[in-house]
């Protein structure tokens, strides 16, 4: 458990945050310029906060009120930075071994071969970073952090410098860190898709303050939380892979409701997380008939949130979990959508995008 309490003056605004990161992946979620990176730097020991206290499993890393300060090299936080920061004069193997060198003898060490295999970087070992692609660099950076026998992994927007294809390549490795190595992680992101896939806990930052913190499903299902904008709002559903069909579809079982999506490489019985974007959901008061959409979730309106614009965010409780729908205010009125109203959420199969499907480790 990591406990963080920080106050720090930044150009234009003040950072004032308190949060706890339980085991698992805690994502600091917020727009750029909300102080996320400052928080992670203070935890890593690369920045001295004006005031604050950071403690990991009871050990104080920094406490300004008592003048306590542990320098970064004694904190054993494995950092994965946005730009990789591999050492250009060392080979990939030497980069990986760098942290191992300084790790305390009695620390629980990861095996180099296992990490190399986990990250698929075996063929790169003799190369120098100048000859690696962006995605390869980031995989080596993950391995390097992991091999320094860290007590926690700190990742500062590790995917933001990569294109979409590379992001899709790297994200599964963070999932493997969470699911196979089980190391606690603090992960900074402004992407709702990354949060949905990785987070077990979400801390939403806005203008230097914690706006909301809680479990991933709880926070992401809350229509009031939209740091990445209305268009990125969406709910997170837990589902079990029921069966694979011959026509290229996979059937999921989400709380008794069947959901179909293009075939995914998961064995029947395994759990997955599915993200349903709010603007991909259509609402209907009657159970729709003769509709091409396959995924229909019956539910009850929990609440309707309207803002200044023409849109309304409707949250529904369904057997599969909470679902968000972005509709116009006009249709919300026309359909009589108010708390307690029965209605059906229609989700187009294709709208459950594959890059939004994550392993169900959380």
What residue ranges bind another protein (CB under 8 A)? Answer: 44-46, 71-79, 81, 83, 85, 87-89, 98-99, 101-103, 128-131, 144-145, 148, 154
From the CB of residue 349, how many other CB atoms can be counted at a distance below 10 Å?
14
- Closest by CA position to 83, among listed 145, 161, 139, 135: 161
Nearer to another protein, 48 or 243 (CB): 48
How near is the Cβ of 2 to another protein at its closest, in Å?
15
Alpha-helical regions (H) of the chain: 36-44, 92-102, 112-119, 134-147, 164-176, 192-198, 216-220, 329-334
Nearer to another protein, 86 or 116 (CB): 86
How near is the Cβ of 230 to another protein at its closest, in Å?
35
Give 164's DSSP letter.
H
What's the start-to-end Cα distance of the chain, in Å? Answer: 16
For residue 251 the two structure tokens come to 């059937």
Nearer to another protein, 76 or 344 (CB): 76
Nearer to another protein, 136 or 302 (CB): 136
Give 230's DSSP letter.
G
How near is the Cβ of 162 to another protein at its closest, in Å?
18
Q: Give exposure, 19-56, as e/b (b: 16+ Cβ within 10 Å).
A: bebeebbbbbbbeeebbbbbbbbbbbbbbebeebbbbb
Nearer to another protein, 30 or 143 (CB): 143
How near is the Cβ of 76 to another protein at its closest, in Å?
7
Nearer to another protein, 76 or 273 (CB): 76
How near is the Cβ of 64 to another protein at its closest, in Å?
20
How near is the Cβ of 312 to another protein at its closest, in Å?
45
Bridge partner residues of 213 (DSSP): 203
């Amino acid at each position: 458990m990591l406990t963080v309490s920080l106050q720090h003056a930044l150009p234009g605004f003040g950072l004032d945050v308190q949060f706890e990161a339980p085991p698992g992946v805690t994502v600091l979620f917020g727009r750029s310029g909300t102080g996320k990176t400052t928080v992670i730097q203070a935890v890593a020991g690369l920045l001295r906060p004006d005031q604050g206290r950071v403690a990991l499993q009871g050990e104080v890393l920094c406490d300004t009120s008592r003048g306590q300060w542990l320098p970064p090299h004694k904190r054993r936080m494995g950092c994965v930075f946005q730009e990789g920061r591999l050492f250009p004069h060392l080979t990939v193997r030497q980069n990986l071994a760098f942290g191992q060198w300084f790790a305390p003898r009695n620390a629980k060490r990861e095996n180099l071969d296992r990490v190399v295999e986990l990250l698929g970087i075996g063929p790169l070992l003799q190369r120098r970073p100048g000859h690696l692609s962006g995605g390869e660099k980031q995989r080596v950076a993950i391995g390097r952090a992991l091999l320094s026998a860290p007590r926690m992994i700190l990742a500062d927007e590790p995917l933001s410098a990569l294109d979409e294809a590379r992001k899709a390549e790297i994200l599964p490795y963070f999932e493997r860190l969470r699911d196979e190595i089980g190391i606690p992680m603090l992960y900074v992101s402004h992407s709702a898709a990354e949060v949905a896939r990785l987070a077990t806990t979400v801390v939403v930052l806005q203008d230097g303050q914690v706006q909301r913190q809680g479990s991933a499903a709880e926070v992401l299902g809350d229509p009031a939380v939209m740091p990445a904008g209305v268009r990125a709002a969406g709910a997170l559903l837990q589902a079990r892979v029921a069966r694979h069909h011959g026509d290229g579809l996979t059937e999921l079982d989400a709380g008794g409701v069947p959901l179909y999506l293009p075939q995914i490489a998961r064995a029947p019985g395994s759990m997955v997380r599915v993200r349903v974007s709010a603007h991909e959901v259509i609402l209907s008061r009657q159970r729709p008939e003769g509709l091409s959409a396959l995924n229909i979730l019956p539910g009850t309106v929990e609440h309707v949130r309207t803002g200044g614009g023409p849109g309304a965010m409707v949250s529904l409780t369904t057997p599969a979990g909470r679902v968000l729908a972005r509709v116009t205010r006009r249709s919300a009125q026309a359909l009589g959508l108010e708390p307690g109203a029965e209605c059906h959420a229609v989700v187009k199969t294709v709208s459950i995008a594959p890059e939004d499907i994550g392993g169900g480790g959380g």
